Amino acid sequence: MAAEVPLIPLLTPYKMGNFSLSHRVVLAPLTRQRSYNNVPQPHAILYYSQRTSQGGLLIAEATGVSDTAQWYPQTPGIWTKEQVEAWKPIVDAVHAKGGIFFCQIWHVGRVSNPGYQPSRQAPISCTDRGLAPQIGVSGVDAAKFTPPRRLRTDEIPQIVNDFRLAARNAMEAGFDGVEIHGAHGYLLDQFMKDQVNDRTDEYGGSLENRCRFPLEVVKALSNEIGPERVGIRLSPFADYFECEDSNPEKLGLYMASALNKYGILYCHMVEPRMKTVGENVEGPHSLVPMRKAFNGTFIVAGGYDRKEGNNAVAENRADLVAYGRWFLSNPDLPKRFELDAPLNTYNRDTFYIPDPVVGYTDYPFLDGSSQV
């Protein structure tokens, strides 16, 4: 008889609100650019079901709340009936394997250009200051941004409503909840960060004012679908798309505390990317004050490996740990962590290509197969 594998912290059960998780390894939301014409495709059924385990939490890729929310090609939306119907079989496949599935909803704000906007209009933001041209993911193509249009104060409630309707649509599609994308330089993050937000109305200036719009989204979604089905992702330390804050610790702590008013299910925070020193992965543990301030489930992400993920749970620095690149390339990641098995190497060149198989559903399981 084979010896039993000792249970590691990442594989201990956890009660997240009304959801009973069998382990603490979360599929992070990962943009894959395989939703043609912004409509989720049947090949996503296999992709997500491959990464589903009984009682495991998956967070779907960033999903647009409206036709003004787009920039990356072939990313999914959830503002039309067609999109909602396309999501249903994908959600059903995850549920059929016992998974818990949340939909991350987003608006890119100024990270766009008129080519991705209805009527070729300027993208919207908290500001009218544009981004410098960026090198695309291929390292060759230049992603060109155009100056955004500063949202008028009286327009912001409409964007809040777009998020609210997207959450309602996610419930219709069968998702268990939604994660608000408040990270990585996109619209909500643009409002929060003082290096971007140059407003002088009630949505700019003070920390409280800069966080007003994201918290209005949290309130609207909590009222629409219930706070027990709402999470948010934040990255106070990140500077993606020239979006940074002069005091990220203060920003993160303020948001972690302010979220308690609404009683939402979880806060998903992104750590500054960890650095490998020799054989050890060292993280700054900068999220600990926010973890202590937030009353709900606390999810961390940001370059964790098996060892550091186990340490985060064992030391009570997090309830759950989200994995992106390693879950993308290892559909059976929780099992590999359980056995401390070798991991597949991921291929960055296939992260964002439109192929429905290559770099998407062809990463092998431990037994060598690539099917569920």
Angle at 74 between CA 371 and CA 80, to 5 degrees: 100
With the CA atoms of 131, 188, 237 and 148 taken in that order, what torsion angle do they form, in degrees rounded to the nearest 10?
10
Q: Which residues, in sequence order, are CB contacts of 89 under 8 Å at separation 6+?
A: 42, 45
CA dihedral over 141, 147, 238, 186, signed as positive or negative: negative
| pLDDT on residue 372 | 57
Q: Which of 48, 116, 186, 203 is catalytic?
A: 186
The Cα angle at residue 329 between residues 324 and 310, in degrees rounded to 5 = 55
Name the percent of the chain in helix, strand, coil, to the closest 5.
35, 15, 45
Return d(Cα 18, Cα 331) in angstroms, integer.
26
Nearest partner of 48 among 101, 118, 1, judged by Cα: 101
Q: For residue 214, give both structure tokens.
A: 């994201």
d(CA 182, CA 108): 10
The answer to whether 210 and 135 have CB atoms below 8 angstroms apart is: no
* One pLDDT digit (tens) per residue for the chain, 372 residues: 455 667 899 999 999 999 999 999 999 999 999 999 999 999 999 999 999 999 999 999 999 999 999 999 999 999 999 999 999 999 999 999 999 999 999 999 999 999 999 999 999 999 999 998 776 654 445 568 899 999 999 999 999 999 999 999 999 999 999 999 999 999 999 999 999 999 999 999 999 999 999 999 999 999 999 999 999 999 999 999 999 999 999 999 999 999 999 999 999 999 986 444 344 444 555 899 999 999 999 999 998 999 999 999 999 999 999 999 999 999 999 999 999 999 999 999 999 999 999 999 999 999 877 665
Q: Is 254 a catalytic residue?
A: no
Report d(CA 118, CA 174) in Å as an integer: 28
Element (H, E) at 267: strand 266-270
Instruction: Give the bridge partners for 233, in sequence order.
Output: 181, 268
**129 with 198: CB under 8 angstroms?**
yes
| pTM flag (> 0.85) | yes
The CA-atom distances, in angstroms, between 173 and each of 91, 98, 295, 323 are 7, 17, 29, 24
CA distance 60 to 179: 9
SS3 track for 77-115: ECCCHHHHHHHHHHHHHHHHCCCEEEEEEECCCCCCCHH
Please state, in angstroms and rounded to a whole number, the distance separating the CA atoms of residues 61 and 31. Answer: 5
d(CA 264, CA 294): 10
Q: E strand or H helix at 189, and its extent?
A: helix 187-192
